[in-house]
Amino acid sequence: MNMGTKIKKILLEYLVLVFIVILVIVTAIAEPKFMTSANLNNILRQFGPLSFVALGMTFVIIGGYIDLSVVGIMSLVTVVTVSLIDVTGQVVALIAGIVMGAAMGLFNGLLLLAGGANTQAKALFITYGMSMLYGAAALIFTAGGTLHMSWLTTPQTVFAAIGSGNIGFISVSFVVFLVCLIVLHTFLSATHQGMAIRIAGGNKMAGELSGVPVNRSLVLIYMLSGLMAAIGAIVLFSRTTMANPAAGKGYELNAILAVVLGGTSLKGGYGNVLRTVLGVLLVTLMANCLDLLSVTTYYQTVFKGSILVMAIWLDNRNKQQGGE
């Protein structure tokens, strides 16, 4: 292998980093406000909800499946948690919300396992249907209205801290994110179960024949995805201080976009959570930079769509060349 192909390979492998660097340089030159500490702090906050959802989605995609139900899970967790605060107090509500997310994810996983859904497409449609169901439950729960946290009578210091508190100069939600990141990264790369998830994603049949707990991995990845979606929902409504029954809308595609941009393969079996962080960073930075450069949201949708298509295409080309 000569020097040229080596550099090309490294560039393709870390294409997302190249994108990020270019984006930062261009925006910093065009718009000096970009490099102010206020804006950087803003980016860290926008980083919040999506990063959690994307971390969960990473596990599902590495496991060879896909999860569209995060939309419904986020919406339902949001409205139920906020209305529980007055009934049970904030700490119990927080825990109940997280447990509920995990339970909904668990249910998805068990459903897929019982149905023997062995392809991404089947998982896509079943989780889409479940998302409709969860989302409708959220809408029925609030009768379509939005709950404001200022209406509540009990104190909500915990949520206020998650939403806008700082530890030193770093926001609390970012600290929570770092903890989740470290735990999930260790889980995926250093435990037997993490290895099992990757093997099951790479080749299910081979995994099953060599005694890897394929079925347990399937249930586990969906549970993790539900759990992380719930945490994402809590971070989101703590920041906006209102519970919208359609809170999760758009998060599923953005999460998939972030995971794929990071370089985790949609074919399953390959990738890690650190790459996803880069993907989320690119998605957030892109939105922030385009906002600063006063590009309308409509053009932003076009940008996002074309980058998603390009990323999947390049990822695919990369994998095919690697396989030869």
Write out the binding residues for other proteins, residues 55-74 only, by CB under 8 A: 66
Q: How wide is the angle at C-alpha 307 spanned by C-alphas 306 and 309, nearest 5°?
A: 65
C-beta neighbour count of 114 within 10 angstroms = 8
Spatial separation of the C-alpha atoms in residues 170 and 123, rounded to whole Å: 38
Q: Which is nearer to other proteins, 88 or 119 (CB)?
A: 119
Q: Which of 32, 145, 155, 305 binds other proteins (CB under 8 A)?
A: 305
Residues across the chain: 324
Minimum separation from the CB atom of position 120 to other proteins (A): 7
Cα dihedral value 296, 300, 302, 303, nearest 10: 130
**Is 246 near other proteins (CB under 8 A)?**
no
Residue 56 tokens read as: 């969960």
Told to check if 323 binds other proteins by CB under 8 A, we report no
Among the listed ranges 10-18, 38-46, 269-277, 311-319, the one in contact with other proteins (CB under 8 A) is 311-319
Q: How many residues bind other proteins (CB under 8 A)?
A: 51
**Binder among 39, 41, 42, 120 for other proteins (CB under 8 A):** 120
Alpha-carbon distance of 295 to 21, in angstroms, equals 19
Put residue 80 in one of left, alpha, beta given phi > 0 → left and psi -120 to 50 → alpha: alpha
Is residue 302 at the binding interface for other proteins, with CB under 8 A as the rule? yes
Residue 32 CB, nearest approach to other proteins (Å): 28
Query: 91, 316, 321, 322: which one contacts other proteins (CB under 8 A)?
Result: 316
CA distance 109 to 119: 13
Q: Are 115 and 65 in contact (CB under 8 A)?
A: no
Among 2, 153, 294, 320, binds other proteins (CB under 8 A): 320
Binding site for other proteins (CB under 8 A): 66, 111, 114-122, 124-126, 128-137, 139-140, 143-144, 253, 256, 260, 266-267, 296-306, 308-309, 312-313, 316-317, 320
